[in-house]
Amino acid sequence: MKYRSLYWEDIEEGQALPVIKYELSLLRLVAMVRASGHYDYVHFDREYARSAGARDAFIATHHVAGLYSRLVTDWSGPEADLRSLTWSMNSQSCADDLLTITGKVGRKYTNDQSEFLVDLVDLNIGHERAPQAASASATLALPSRAGGPAGISGSSAQRPKVDPDPLMPEFAKAMLGKVKEGLREPARPLTEDEIHLWCECVEDWNPLYWDREYAASSRYGGIIAPPAGIFFGAGSSARVGVGYLKPGEEVPQAVSAGLTGVALLQEFRKSLIVAGMPFMPPGLPEVAVVRSSADYYTPLRPGDSTRTRQELLNCSPMKRTRLGEGCFVTWVNSAFNQREERVRAVTLTAFHYRTV
């Protein structure tokens, strides 16, 4: 097979990216859970999502990132390198919504490292109920006829600069400056099949992710994982009560306490949230991510595992939204592979709330 890639010189500022249509079926929501190992009920359990104040089971943050990643590399071809992606969740996209994914070229330029870069702007995911359900921007490094192939980012990320809210609650102030070791993503060596499951879910058939022959001849020298991919891997479901009877696994406390139904799921979800961020705001059991900004560095490859670390950046005072009453929490989650190479740094803002 021959895969076409754009050169930096061929791109014009203002040109539109090819439109993607994507049916967000319940099957695809479940497929993302299967691919990522991220068992958050609001993304596949319709009853639980509605009990949390949502219209229906809704798209996950990493699912959105995966669709934007597909949009930009479907257009650029596999020789481009996604450097950063920033996206906001303006409204929920739920099961059975037909998504339209669009964007255009902002500016093209070179930086101090003589890289040939393109900023993509007005990236949008919309559907009938919400024409601008999610918005984003991205930066790509592209091959150049004059400068050669796109490089691979290997720089180290700096801690994002965020001015703390002067009205930050006291429980959050106590967490500032502390670094928490997070989950391993994945804890076990990543496999080609796990990468392929991700490709199936978002229909992202970039040959770097699945075509061994092409990937071996590329600048990476082998298959890599999509930069926006999240892979908790096999065994991650034990945290939410699936597979915990395997010898050696710890029985979740909520199961030992005899909880069932929605009450059981709420306790499971609380443990998921605590594992994925620096701390859990007291009395606010639900969470919805509203904004993410990711910088991508060394790609994950089959055989890799990671460690993560989290640091709180900001927390708002209590606010009321259509979902309920709560506070907005911002933190950075950094991932490193087993060689201590930085894989990504993701800054997230989430609304922690209770329904009222």
Q: Is 105 helix (H, G, I), strand (E, B) or coil?
A: strand
Segments forming the whole domain that contains residue 350: 8-354
Report the pLDDT value the prediction gives residue 127, as an integer from 0 to 100: 98
Q: Quick check: 153 and 81 in contact, CB under 8 A?
A: yes
**Does residue 108 lie within any of the structural domains?**
yes
Report the pLDDT value the prediction gives residue 289, as an integer from 0 to 100: 85
Q: Quick check: 82 and 119 in contact, CB under 8 A?
A: no
Could you give the number of structural domains in the chain? Answer: 1
Report the pLDDT value the prediction gives residue 280, as an integer from 0 to 100: 84
What is the block-wise mean pLDDT of the chain (356 residues), using blocks of 10 residues? 90 97 98 94 93 92 96 96 95 97 97 93 98 97 92 61 88 91 88 97 97 95 96 84 88 90 85 80 86 94 95 94 92 94 94 87
Closest CA to 71 of 82, 57, 83: 82
Report the pLDDT value the prediction gives residue 234, as an integer from 0 to 100: 80
**Does residue 2 lie within any of the structural domains?**
no
Write the CB contacts of 251 (distance below 8 Å, at least 6 apart in sequence): 244
| pTM score over 0.85 | yes
Report the pLDDT value the prediction gives residue 158, as an integer from 0 to 100: 57
**Does residue 310 lie within any of the structural domains?**
yes
The secondary structure of residue 71, as a DSSP letter, is: H
Report the pLDDT value the prediction gives residue 115, as an integer from 0 to 100: 92
Residue 181's CATH number: 3.10.129.10
Report the pLDDT value the prediction gives residue 276, as an integer from 0 to 100: 79
**Residue pLDDT, tens place only, 128-168:** 999 999 999 999 999 999 988 887 776 545 556 788 899 99
Report the pLDDT value the prediction gives residue 177, as an integer from 0 to 100: 87
**Does residue 256 lie within any of the structural domains?**
yes
The secondary structure of residue 10, as a DSSP letter, is: G
**Does residue 287 lie within any of the structural domains?**
yes
Closest CA to 67 of 55, 85, 80: 85
CA atoms of 325 and 291, how far apart (whole Å): 18
Write the CB contacts of 314 (distance below 8 Å, at least 6 apart in sequence): 162, 163, 164, 165, 168, 328, 329, 330
**Residue pLDDT, tens place only, 258-289:** 999 888 888 888 777 777 788 888 888 888 88
CA atoms of 199 and 276, how far apart (whole Å): 24
**Residue 63 dihedral angles phi and psi, to the nearest 5°:** -65, -45
**Does residue 3 lie within any of the structural domains?**
no
3-state SS, one letter per residue, for 279-330: CCCCCCCEEEEEEEEEEECCCCCCCCCEEEEEEEEEECCCEECCCCEEEEEE
**Does residue 1 lie within any of the structural domains?**
no
Q: Quick check: 118 and 103 in contact, CB under 8 A?
A: no
